[in-house]
Every structure is written in C-alpha cells, then in structure tokens.
Amino acid sequence: MRAAACQLIELGHVSAYLWVFENNTGAIRFYKRLGAAIVNRKTKTFFGHDVPNVRMEWNDLSAIGERP
C-alpha cells in the first residue's frame, strides 16, 4: 500500500479510494489502520449476485507513507 500511495503521489494525486466487500472485515480493518475511512456503502452486482460494498477513502495519501 505504501508503494502504491507513493506512486499515486508522484503522479500528482493527493487522495484515493477503493471498494471492498462489506463482509471482508479483515481488509476493512487493514485499510482503517492505514488511515482510510468508510465514506459510502453501495450494493453492487457481481456475477449476478448483489453484494454489499463499502468505499474506503484516504483524503491524504501521504499519511500512508508516514506509517511504520
């Protein structure tokens, strides 16, 4: 994640987001520890099934690079 954040910063981005399956609690915990916040919830269709998702967002990508 740190490498991805650094690449995005080099490309001029200051923020980023990604969608995570809502039942993927391990990933949500991981991203929260990296400073992401849940900013939206949406049900998306995957292979004909409705799946609840959450949007995890970083307002400041530089915070990821600062974490040990």
Domain ranges of the chain: 2-66
pLDDT confidence of residue 63: 84
Give 43-57 pLDDT, tens digit per residue.
Answer: 999 999 999 999 999
Given the candidates 3.30.200.20, 3.40.630.30, 3.90.10.10, 3.40.50.300, the CATH classification of the domain at 2-66 is 3.40.630.30
Q: What is the rounded distance in angstroms from the CA atom of residue 15 to the CA atom of residue 36? A: 10
Secondary structure of 25-61 as H, E, C letters: HHHHHHHHHCCCEEEEEEEEEECCEEEEEEEEEECCC
The SS3 call for residue 18 is strand
pLDDT confidence of residue 64: 85
Contact call for residues 9 and 66 (beta carbons, < 8 A)? no
H or E, element range at 16: strand 16-21
pLDDT confidence of residue 66: 63
Give 7-51 pLDDT, tens digit per residue.
Answer: 999 999 999 999 999 999 999 999 999 999 999 999 999 999 999
